[in-house]
Amino acid sequence: MITSKERAQLRAMANPLETIGQIGKDGVSQAAVDGVMLALKARQLVKYRVLENSMLTAREAAEQLAQRTGADVVQVIGTRFVLYLADPEKPII
């Protein structure tokens, strides 16, 4: 679990990031979880988008992905959300 100060720092770091993936009509499928996990291992901090044809809101998708990957939800704004998973060897914060 990250503290509010760490969350604020991560939000600032995520602001200039490009959206690297999206959740569509299939929702949080195993393929989506695998893709997010690969991205988290490579980057630690990732920004995703939920498409309009998805049955999930951005908050629901972020929470489901966080639960299934062990990541923390940093922020949810509109259709975008940011996840963080610390690397034990080289953590960002």
Predicted structure pTM score: 0.92
Say which residues have a Cβ less than 8 Å from residue 53's Cβ, sequence separation at least 6. Answer: 24, 25
pLDDT tens-digit readout, 16-57: 999 999 999 988 999 999 999 999 999 999 999 999 999 999
The structural architecture, per CATH, of the domain 4-84 is 2-Layer Sandwich (3.30)
Q: What residue ranges do the domains of the chain occupy? A: 4-84
Over range 71-86, report the average pLDDT.
Answer: 96
